[in-house]
């Protein structure tokens, strides 16, 4: 019994798949008269369907994996939160507009990020006595970060949004949020507007202004409306 690789025109009713095995099996021993019409009529084509089915499954799995990676990369929303009411309002507004109306099929994967300042940046001065204070300041900052994270979780749970990633990253909020966008390949970054005046923005810098110029994604700045008395 001999086996040859047959070209696709032997099986015109089957679509070609890259890498598939095509086999032509002779039902009689191969001799010098194999090309005669009598022996050619006795040829039996056998196609390895198991190989084709396996390759189809592998191709489908690979396409699914790539599609899922593209979905995750293109549809991630990062929301920056801190202990301020304006920041937590921005999270509430985001959930009400982009998540709650579409439950349970949310259009974004939500990542909530809190930037925990370093103790040294909070104290702002140096010296031998300051070193003793750093652990105390750091403990307070950790408590604040835990409170903010829990508050954000409660807000998400109240909107029935449970598939959320919460992260606490140490550093300046501006750099932390931009880094989070790069890390998660986010397509949208949401930050709250604290309503600082032009002088304070010039001195301390605005997180929303910085992110709108440096984050490699769409930046949505949420400003809480004024409540008329």
> 228 lies in a domain?
no
Range of the domain at 179: 75-222
Which of these three, 15, 37, 69, is where a domain ends?
Answer: 69
Its pTM stands at: 0.64
**Regions of the chain where pLDDT drops below 50:** 1-34, 37, 40-46, 197-204, 229
Q: Could you tell me if 15 and 116 lie in one domain? A: no
Can you give the pLDDT at residue 222? 95
Q: Could you tell me if 123 and 142 lie in one domain? A: yes
Q: Could you tell me if 22 and 80 lie in one domain? A: no
Q: What is the CATH number of the domain that holds 134?
A: 3.40.50.620
Q: Could you tell me if 49 and 86 lie in one domain? A: no
Can you give the pLDDT at residue 36? 52
Q: Could you tell me if 190 and 92 lie in one domain? A: yes
Q: Could you tell me if 107 and 213 lie in one domain? A: yes
Q: Could you tell me if 63 and 161 lie in one domain? A: no
Q: Could you tell me if 48 and 136 lie in one domain? A: no
Q: Pick the closest to residue 193 from 228, 149, 223 (CA basis).
A: 223
- Alpha-carbon radius of gyration of the chain: 31
Pairwise CA distance, residues 69 & 32, whole Å? 56
Pairwise CA distance, residues 105 & 99, whole Å? 8
Can you give the pLDDT at residue 74? 59
> 185 lies in a domain?
yes
Can you give the pLDDT at residue 86? 92
Segment 67-78, tens digit of pLDDT? 666 655 558 999
Q: Could you tell me if 79 and 42 lie in one domain? A: no
Can you give the pLDDT at residue 71? 59
Q: Could you tell me if 115 and 205 lie in one domain? A: yes
- Start-to-end CA span in the chain (Å): 95
Q: Could you tell me if 31 and 118 lie in one domain? A: no
**Average pLDDT across the chain, whole number:** 78
Segment 116-167, tens digit of pLDDT? 999 888 887 666 677 778 888 999 999 999 999 999 999 999 999 999 999 9
Q: Could you tell me if 88 and 198 lie in one domain? A: yes
Domain count, the chain: 2
> 121 lies in a domain?
yes
* Contacts with 80 (C-beta within 8 Å, 6 or more apart), sequence order: 87, 113, 114, 115, 173, 176, 177, 180, 189, 190, 191, 192, 207, 211
Which of these three, 51, 69, 87, is where a domain ends?
Answer: 69
Can you give the pLDDT at residue 122? 82
CB 152 within 8 A of CB 166: yes
Which of these three, 45, 69, 93, is where a domain ends?
Answer: 69
């Amino acid at each position: 019994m001999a086996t040859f690789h047959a070209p696709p025109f032997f099986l015109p009713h089957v679509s070609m798949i890259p890498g598939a095995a095509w086999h032509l099996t002779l039902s009689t021993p191969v001799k010098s008269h194999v090309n005669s019409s009598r022996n050619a009529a006795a040829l039996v084509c056998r196609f390895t369907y198991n190989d084709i089915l396996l390759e189809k499954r592998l191709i489908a799995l690979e396409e699914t994996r790539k599609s899922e990676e593209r979905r995750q990369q293109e549809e991630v929303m990062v929301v920056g939160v801190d202990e301020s009411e304006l920041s937590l309002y921005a999270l509430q507004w985001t959930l009400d507009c982009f998540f709650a109306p579409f439950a349970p099929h949310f259009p974004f994967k939500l990542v909530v990020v809190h930037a925990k300042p370093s103790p040294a940046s909070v104290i702002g001065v140096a010296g031998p006595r300051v070193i003793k204070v750093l652990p105390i300041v750091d403990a307070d900052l950790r408590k604040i970060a835990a409170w903010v994270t829990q508050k954000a979780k409660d807000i998400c749970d109240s909107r029935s949004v449970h598939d959320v990633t919460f992260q606490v990253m140490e550093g300046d909020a501006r750099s932390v949020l931009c880094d989070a966008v790069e890390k998660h390949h986010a397509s949208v970054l949401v930050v709250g507007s604290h309503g600082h005046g032009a002088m304070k923005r010039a001195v301390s810098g605005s997180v929303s202004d910085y992110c709108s110029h440096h984050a490699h994604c769409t930046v949505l700045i949420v400003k809480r409306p004024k409540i008329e008395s």
